[in-house]
Amino acid sequence: MPIGIKDKVAILGMGCCRFGERWDASPEDLMVEAYSEAMADAGISPEQIDAAWFSTHMEDVGTGRGGTPMSIALRLPNIGVTRVENFCAGGSEAIRAAVYAVASGACDIALALGVEKLKDTGYGGLPVATVGTYIPQWYPGAVAPANFAQLASAYQARFNVDPQLLKRAIAHVSVKSHANGAKNPKAHLRKIITEEQCLKAPIIAEPLGLFDCCGVSDGAAAVIVTRPDIARAMGKTDLVTFKALQVAVSNGWEMQGNGWDGSYVHTTRIAARKAYAEAGITRPREQISLTEVHDCFSITELVTMEDLFLSEPGMAVRDVLDGAFDAEGRVPCQIDGGLKCFGHPVGASGIRMLYEIYLQLKGRAGPRQLPDPRTGLIHNLGGQPSQNVCSISIIGREED
Amino acid sequence: MSIGITGFGAYIPRLRLNRQAVVTANAWYAPELKGKARGHRAMANWDEDSITMAVAAARDALGGQDLQGRVREVILASCTLPFAERLNAAVVAEALNLDEYTGASDVTGSQCAALAGFSQALASAASAPGTVLLTAADNRRTRAASAQELDYGDGAAALLFGREQVIAEVLGQAALSVDFIDHFRLTGREIDYYGEERWVRDEGVSRCMPQVIKRALSDSGVDAEAVAHFIFPTSLAKMDAQLAQACGIPAEAVVDGLALEVGNTGVGHGLLLLAKVLESAEPGQVIVLAQFGSGARAVVLRVTDEIKHFAVRRGVSGWLTRGREELSYTRFLTYKGQLQLERGVRGEQDKKTALSTAYRHRRAILGLVAGRCRVSGDVHFPPSRLTYTPDAAALDTQDAHPLADRLGRVLSWSAESLSSYMAPPHHYGQIDFEGGGRILMEFTDVAKGEVQTALEVEMVFRIKDIDDLRGFKRYFWKATPVHTPAPQAPLE
């Protein structure tokens, strides 16, 4: 087992723009918004940044390819800027690159930024993927809600769950996220909803209704990282450090073989085990104060509770309905509203999740501040249940 | 040595359009059609065409893909071939997983095309051993509020020819080629233009057909009174009975044209009716099959004792019971290209096909051939050089493993209303195959509420995508339930 990156890298500053249907802003404007806040938080000048990583998923819908869109938008001082892309987990990849650069000693200070401008595409929901060559000749023209909705049918079959009960549990997931998002001024969707609204909403992909699907948003988020000793030398206290960064990527076993039953996300379990080991966490239910998970759809969040070992197998429905992951629950989840309500600008989401945990650990989360959180987990999933990229990061207070 | 038919199969699409629905919708404009408001016509789903229906009929005749390598030639007869250039029969051959050294040809040009193909298949069977496959299909376009829209149906049939286990030997045949234009369609046009019905009936069918039928009978040395089954597909009322009478064939020999259940399926309709007759024909019975179009053709057959040993798979009777009533006339018009629906922004996706990729992977795409690892037994779709076997990826260990005839079960599924799809909600899910292998694939011919986890499914060859920009279709396989609900349950 590698030594890992625990406590080798600290967050110097973070920024996140207001997410939503930002008809007023271009991707460049969103980047400037997030970057300015992060720079002010870090208290550094651009010349101090050694290198940057840039995450955007749908390069052709406006933001552009390569490192130049970010370098030009932020007028970075001719440093290395590298674009990374890993489906919806791209933001976490940018973080990982910046953290590893600092941990290696190659950089003192590194920047990671993610942006997505989805609302200039003319689509509600994610735009359809670009056409490849081989895969579209056999693979269904599948959309994300139907890919994730299949978790529900398989989970239901595996645990023999009453469909109405499961529908209520996933409704609870969304009701909770809306309640949290309502307290977040930067969130895209800020209305409180009821279980009844969820249950009666039009079906998008059986059994997922409108309120089981996350918002499609414009947004950007940024993080500046450095070594703890550098941060302290700059006068920073109460440092938030990285405890673990793990990524697990499907290799086709779930998609092609017959061993996976479709009711869980294989890579999440692998990444979670590795992340807990790297962070030295042995009792996640007690040691994790809060989570930001990839709730692209309510059912994803529900099964993720089991995949992160925060619920026993088959018990997530009960735990969710019991409020275990509500703001006042055992391990609050999506205290900022999550993808569901904060929004899901694809390339920025991983960094947005980090942003919320950072604010919470710093005690800067305003009306949604949790009492004394110590360690937070970020679960950022790209792709679909049968074939995906799963990134799990754990951050916490330096002294823990 | 007897040469003749060694097998038969058919295909009727699951959708059966209620004619009353059509007549009612058009009553404001064409009240004269109300006399035709009886029964149903078979209707191709949006993802069916003459190629896919021909494949379905051929599989019905062969009992699946041709895994024994029996077929050495395939002839596809149709007047609605999807491609004017690109051998349609070659697509059929790929879908049937035929040996690459198989002859393939398209036969077209008139409603007699299937019988022209029959003649060609017979000659081929006589020239060399092995099986010759003749398959015929039509998916005709008709104008809204036309009589043809109600009279026609979509469907396909297939016959196997050879020298062994002949179930119906060919006693004789005759052909007449004259430029009698009962209808025509210039290349590039989509709908036929029709001549006056009375002229077609009196001057065309009534004059041409008896000559040809009598000639075929005399070539066979069979008396007209000895004919047990007389097949003459026609949309002209009572024309078949009048023709039988004109030829001296007993009235009770006239085979019902399935007008009430299917409609006239065009080029393949004669073969379809023959397949129906052969399902219950007795050894020794004589069958006359005749068709009219730019002349006429007729063949005379005699059923042999071997008929008792031929196992009908679904056959016409089986397909007849798999129907589901369709009440939406606008669905029919849309699928027939007569009504343009708003496709939404998601319908604007470019569906260009990389032809080099399509060729390289043709076995996987058109034949649904997976790769089975000879070490682990794991089945891979698509096939790959390295196996997915956890912690033991093996290199170049996969053998061809056809999946098309294997049943599957639904592991997970959803039905969504987001993507631009011609039969919403769009159903797809993960299918686990008998004997291993898994594919996330589309379902077809399913109604809301019909798909469930663990549902048993079978594979059907269908249109995957249509590239309107370049005028191209690509094909792949889809899952459909093995067991369908009670017939005629309406589509929601």
What secondary structure does DSSP assign to A141-158, as a single string? Answer: ---HHHHHHHHHHHHHHH
Q: Which residues of B are less than 8 Å from A133 in CB distance? A: 354, 357
Q: Is residue B27 located within the same domain as residue B139? A: yes
Q: Which residues of A are less than 8 Å from B453 in CB distance? A: 153-154, 156-157
Place of tokens 């404001």: B28
Q: Is residue B198 located within the same domain as residue B131? A: yes
Q: How far apart are the first and last CA of chain B?
A: 54
Any B CB within 8 A of A205 CB: yes
Residues B69-89, buried b or exposed e (16+ Cβ, 10 A)?
A: ebbbbbbbbbbbbbbeeeebb
| B51: in domain | yes
Q: What is the pLDDT of residues B192-251, one digit of tens each?
A: 999 999 999 999 999 999 999 999 999 999 999 999 999 999 999 999 999 999 999 999
The beta strand positions in chain A, using DSSP E, are: 10-16, 51-55, 80-84, 109-116, 203-205, 208-209, 219-226, 240-249, 290-292, 375-384, 387-397
| B30: in domain | yes
Question: How many CA atoms within 13 Å lie on the side-chain side of A116?
Answer: 32
* Size of the A and B interface in Cβ pairs below 8 Å: 133
User: In whole angstroms, what is the distance from residue A360 CA to residue A373 CA?
Assistant: 7
Q: Which residues of B are less than 8 Å from A255 in CB distance? A: 438, 440
Q: What is the pLDDT of residues B370-419, one digit of tens each?
A: 999 999 999 999 999 999 999 889 999 999 999 999 999 999 999 999 99
Nearest residue, CB atoms, B436 vs list A131, A140, A258: A258
Q: Is residue B274 located within the same domain as residue B388? A: no
Percent of chain B with pLDDT over 90: 93
Any B CB within 8 A of A147 CB: yes
Q: Is residue B369 located within the same domain as residue B224? A: no
Assigned token pair, A46: 């651009």
Assigned token pair, A320: 């969710």
Q: What is the pLDDT of residues B276-292, one digit of tens each?
A: 999 999 999 999 999 99
User: In whole angstroms, what is the distance from residue A292 CA to residue B434 CA?
Assistant: 40
Starting from the edge strand earliest in sequence, which strands make up the sheet with B40-43, in order?
B40-43, B15-18, B324-326
Q: pLDDT tier at B345 (50, 70, 90 boundaries)?
A: confident
Three-class secondary structure of residue B91 per DSSP: helix
Residue B107 bridge partners (DSSP): B77
ipTM of the complex: 0.89
**Catalytic site positions of A:** 88, 344
Closest approach of chain A CAs to the CA of B136, in angstroms? Answer: 26
Same fold, A10-121+218-233 and A143-214+241-397: yes
- pLDDT at res. B492: 40
Percent of chain B with pLDDT over 70: 98
Q: pLDDT tier at B346 (50, 70, 90 boundaries)?
A: confident
Place of tokens 């930067």: A186
Q: Would you say B287 and B277 are in contact if contact means Cβ atoms under 8 Å apart? A: yes
Q: Is residue B173 located within the same domain as residue B115? A: yes
Nearest residue, CB atoms, B388 vs list A142, A202, A252: A252
Q: Do B349 and A256 touch (CB under 8 A)?
A: no
Domain boundary among the residues B335, B354, B386 is at B335
Q: Is residue B20 located within the same domain as residue B111? A: yes
* CATH number of the domain residue B79 falls in: 3.40.47.10
User: In whole angstroms, what is the distance from residue B2 CA to residue B231 CA?
Assistant: 22
Q: Is residue B308 located within the same domain as residue B194? A: yes
Nearest residue, CB atoms, A257 vs list B378, B417, B477: B378
> In CATH, what number does A143-214+241-397 get?
3.40.47.10
Question: How many CA atoms within 13 Å lie on the side-chain side of B460?
Answer: 27
Residue-range definition of the domain harbouring residue B238 = 4-335
Q: Is residue B412 located within the same domain as residue B460? A: yes
How many domains does chain B fold into?
2
Domain boundary assignment for chain A: 10-121+218-233, 143-214+241-397
Give the CA distances from residue B339 to residues A133, A169, B49, B142, B333, in Å, rounded to whole numbers and listed in that order.
Answer: 30, 42, 17, 12, 5
Give the CA distances from residue A69 to residues A17, A65, A66, A90, in Å, rounded to whole numbers and listed in that order.
Answer: 17, 7, 7, 16
**Per-residue pLDDT at B438 exceeds 70:** yes
Kindly state the average pLDDT of the residues B74-79: 98
Q: What is the pLDDT of residues B150-201, one digit of tens each?
A: 999 999 999 999 999 999 999 999 999 999 999 999 999 999 999 999 999 9
Q: Is CATH 3.40.47.10 the right assignment for the domain spanning A10-121+218-233? A: yes
Q: What is the pLDDT of residues A221-268, one digit of tens each?
A: 999 999 999 999 999 999 999 999 999 999 999 999 999 999 999 999
Find the range with the poorest average confidence among A318-322, B94-98, B117-121, B482-486: B482-486
Q: pLDDT tier at B133 (50, 70, 90 boundaries)?
A: very high
Q: pLDDT tier at A132 (50, 70, 90 boundaries)?
A: low
Q: What residue of B is the nearest CA neighbor of A263?
A: B412
Q: Which residues of A are less than 8 Å from B384 in CB distance? A: 252
